[in-house]
Amino acid sequence: MENCSDALDALASWTAWLPLNVVRAEVSPRRPGVHVARYADTGHIFYVGEAHQRGVRERLDEYRLGNDLNGLGAVLADLALADAEFVRERLADIESGNPRTAVQWMKLAMERRNIQFSVSETEDGPSAQLLESRVLDAIPNEHLLNKAAVRARRSPAVT
């Protein structure tokens, strides 16, 4: 899973791997599409998602602003809350009289890892859903953290 770029490139045209605040500026405001997230230090792809109703830029903005309670933001918040050091730091904030809001905690969870994104825009929502499905089929999903991959791992294989 270290380098799945060839598999991705075979499916669609993608932006370069960029930080969240940069990649969102590379996509159209309302176009649907698929976004892939990886850890910058290892290149390990850990999340594949799609945005069809509001558009991929708005979806990326939900991550950037700490407003995502269902997708990647929720996954990263779960990982952060399972990290004792992250929780100790937040507790220290509270004990020093500087408690943070839930949105601020979500943003901190997103920012604690150096994450890069690549995006492929599609013509419409059904195309985004189809591309997401194809990406999930094309790359190993045993370490993906998005809901579709987790569901696929839990479902018995059909033969």
For the chain, where are the E strands, in sequence order? 18-19, 33-39, 45-51, 115-121
Indicate whether 34 pLDDT > 50.
Answer: yes
d(CA 17, CA 14): 9
Mean pLDDT across 47-66? 88
Mean pLDDT across 34-58? 91
Tokens 């933001």, residue? Answer: 73
How many CB atoms sit inside 10 A of residue 109's CB? 22
Q: What pLDDT score was predicted for residue 149?
A: 66
Helix, strand or coil for residue 38? strand
Mean pLDDT of the chain: 87
Edge-first strand order for the sheet with 18-19 is 18-19, 115-121, 33-39, 45-51
How many CB atoms sit inside 10 A of residue 157's CB? 5
pLDDT in tens, 79-133: 899 999 999 999 999 999 999 998 899 889 888 888 999 999 999 999 999 999 9
Q: What sign has the CA pseudo-torsion 148, 29, 60, 115?
A: positive
Percent of the chain with pLDDT over 90: 45
DSSP per residue, 6-17: HHHHHH---PPP
